[in-house]
Structure 1
């Protein structure tokens, strides 16, 4: 996974070490454990997929974490990216819309001994306002714009990374919250993501 991340352009050694230290086979369905260390998405229930490790590393690197941040993650899945973030930040607040996935992620993170993470079930497009402000926000699902509540919960100077597009063909973009609002800093990579559902995303049940 680390070789694939380097080949994709990841240079932050802290991110590469976090990727190396998280056992991905602990964060995929048991039937998929044999393919856990390939640099490829892994299918999950409900038509979801994991993000491939090199793409996780690129998105996490774009947050510019230094060790003490509070990070909001939208889309926990089975918790692999959550675990990587937990190695790099002070606290991770993660939101998963599917209750069974959230439960699995909690159990897997607990078994891995990761304690600086909280996983809640809910509408990720609303964020978690009671824990705001956040130093960084990462969204692991696609929508053509950044949900307003996530912008409002990001501190000035903080970074937000999200795939922008309709679901299936996206540009992963890095933004910064400035006193004037959210400013696009760069496009990180092209990728394919599932859709972001919620009040400030797509209506649940709509498919690309």
Structure 2
């Protein structure tokens, strides 16, 4: 089902739900409207693409519910000048949304199957400012440098200091922090002139972030 085939009521309810739940940044709402979520879910789930719920994808992973995608994106306070790092590509949906708001997105995925499929899909859909890398989100290559924004889309039991240090001055990081098989809290870290400001936001549930590149899949 293409974006054009999606019935107007589904699209309208999709946007209305985001607004009702507190998403108010017009650029974020516009990005959520422009990126066809049905293209990033499994074929069997396309009829449910615009429901506000997480859906399963390959490799035992998930595509986050639209509200969480929009909320995390809004908290990043993106501009067209920003360079963004995403840990956990998944289907590529979050990266596609980020690409509408930032200059460049580097997204790292530990599952080769997901990295390859997301890369093909993003390229085919014209998201040319997204770079998909197969790699370990706990060991971001040094040559990638620092980033204006960092978003983690899998649960970390704690934030690695090495990742926080990859923020540029005034940079923002957002990540779900907490137990792997339970409720996590979205944490926002802002790099200031004197250190780092950390704030807890809302409770969420994400699949675990694991170190290393997956040996299979």
TM-score w.r.t. length of structure 2: 0.87
| Corresponding position: 1:141 with 2:154 | yes
Q: Distance in 2 between matches of 1:126 and 1:7?
A: 38
Bigger Cα Rg: 2
Q: Distance in 1 between matches of 2:50 and 2:37?
A: 7
Where in structure 1 do 4 or more consecutive aligned residues deviate above 6 Å? none
| Corresponding position: 1:182 with 2:199 | no
Q: Deviation at 1:2?
A: 2.0
| Corresponding position: 1:157 with 2:170 | yes
Which residues of structure 1 form unaligned runs of 5+?
Answer: none
| Corresponding position: 1:191 with 2:204 | yes
Residue of 96, 100, 104 corresponding to 1:91: 104
Residue 3 of structure 2 aligns with which residue? none
Q: Distance in 1 between matches of 2:142 and 2:153?
A: 19
Residue 5 of structure 2 aligns with which residue? none
Task: Let me know the Cα RMSD of the aligned residues.
Answer: 1.7
**Aligned-partner SS, 2:50:** coil
| Kept in 2: contact 1:97–1:122 (CA 8 A) | yes
Q: Deviation at 1:204?
A: 7.5
CA deviations on 1:153-175 (whole Å, 9 max, x unpaired) are 11121000001101230111111
CA deviations on 1:56-82 (whole Å, 9 max, x unpaired) are 000010001021100000000011110
Moved more, 171-180 or 118-127: 171-180
Residue 30 of structure 1 aligns with which residue? 43
**Relative to structure 1, is the Cα distance of residues 156 and 114 closer, same or farther in structure 2, using a 3 angstrom cutoff?**
same
Residue of 82, 86, 92 corresponding to 2:95: 82
| Kept in 1: contact 2:149–2:173 (CA 8 A) | yes
**Aligned-partner SS, 2:172:** strand
The number of aligned residues is 201
CA deviations on 1:100-137 (whole Å, 9 max, x unpaired) are 00111011111111100100011111224322210000
Which residues of structure 2 form unaligned runs of 5+?
Answer: 1-13
Q: Distance in 2 between matches of 1:58 and 1:2?
A: 13
Residue of 50, 63, 79 corresponding to 2:63: 50
Q: Distance in 1 between matches of 2:122 and 2:155?
A: 25
**Aligned-partner SS, 2:138:** helix
Residue of 170, 178, 187 corresponding to 1:173: 187
| Kept in 2: contact 1:132–1:154 (CA 8 A) | no
Moved more, 81-90 or 29-38: 29-38
